[in-house]
């Protein structure tokens, strides 16, 4: 049986193709629709770097960690704000 030198590169090619597919799926990520904290209303970045939380597949940004706790108490209330902001161009 003749071994081809290309055979040893198949694992690398598979990794490259799977990585390329991930980047090709969303070449331009959408911008976060709010410039203010979804809980406090303060401008994001006013108190340092915004804090991000992935809630059921949706990225939510807050001005501080304390706002995350408020969000967790009533997520539906705050998600409604995010939903209305993304439905308007």
Q: For residue 44, give the nearest of 69, 61, 67 by alpha carbon.
A: 61
Q: For residue 31, give the nearest of 76, 69, 85 by alpha carbon.
A: 85
pLDDT < 50 positions in the chain = 15, 19-28, 87-89
| Whether 88 contacts 81, CB under 8 Å | no
| Whether 67 contacts 53, CB under 8 Å | no
pLDDT tens column, 40-53:
999 999 888 999 99
Domains of the chain and any CATH numbers: 31-89 (2.30.170)
Q: What is the pTM of this model?
A: 0.60
């Amino acid at each position: 049986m003749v071994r081809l030198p290309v055979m040893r590169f198949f694992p690398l090619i598979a990794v490259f193709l799977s990585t390329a597919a991930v980047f090709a799926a969303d070449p331009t990520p959408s911008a976060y629709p709010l410039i203010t904290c979804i809980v406090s209303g303060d401008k994001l970045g006013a108190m340092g770097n915004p804090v991000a939380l992935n809630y059921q597949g949706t990225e939510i940004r807050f001005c501080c960690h304390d706002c995350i706790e408020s969000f967790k108490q009533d997520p539906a209330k705050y998600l409604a704000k995010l939903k209305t902001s993304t439905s308007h161009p």
